[in-house]
Amino acid sequence: MEPNRRTMITSAGAVGTAAVVGLTSACSPDDSESGSGSSASAPPDATVPASDVPVGSGIVVDEAYVVTQPKEGEFHAFSSVCTHQGCQVRTVTETEIVCPCHSSRYSATSGEVLSGPATEALATYQVTDSGGTLNLSAQ
C-alpha cells in the first residue's frame, strides 16, 4: 500500500517535531538552573595535586570543579558548569574562565560573570592546600 499525501505530511511533521525536541534538549541542561550561581547539589569532595594547577591558568577536575591559580600559591575553586546552559567550561587564563558553548566569561578569582550570555556567577567551593594537595569541597 502506497502512502497517501496525508500520511506523508503527518510523518514529516512527527519527524520535524522530534528533531526540534532533540535540538532543544541538546541546548539545555538536564536539571534546571538554580539562578543563584550555585548548583542544586554540590559535587563530591575531591583532591588534586597543587602542582597540577598551572600558575596563571587552571584545570577542570572530575568535570565538577575548575581550579585556578592566577598567582603562585593563590588557589580558587568553582563549579565547572556554565550557569548559562550547563556546558563544561574548558579554557582558563590568569583572569578568565571561558565557556566554549556561548563564550560566557567568568572571573578566575571570584567566579563572577565578566561577560555573558551567562548572568549568574559560578558556584564557589572551598579549596585548601594541605602539604601540596588541594582539597576541594562545598563551603
The total of other beta-carbon atoms located within 10 Å of residue 97's CB is 26
- CATH T-level assignment (fold) for domain 46-137: Rieske Iron-sulfur Protein (2.102.10)
Segment 129-139 shows an average pLDDT of 87
Mean pLDDT of the chain: 75
**Looking at 14-28, 37-51, 73-87, 121-135, which range is the least confident one?**
14-28
Q: Rounded to whole angstroms, what are the CA distances from 100 to 85, 116, 139?
A: 11, 12, 27
Sign of CA dihedral 50, 56, 60, 65: positive
Query: Is 31's pLDDT higher than 80?
Result: no
Determine the average pLDDT of the residues in 90-98.
87
DSSP H or E segment with residue 14: helix 5-26
Query: What are the residue boundaries of the structural domains of the chain, listed by start?
Result: 46-137
Q: Is the pLDDT of residue 32 over 80?
A: no
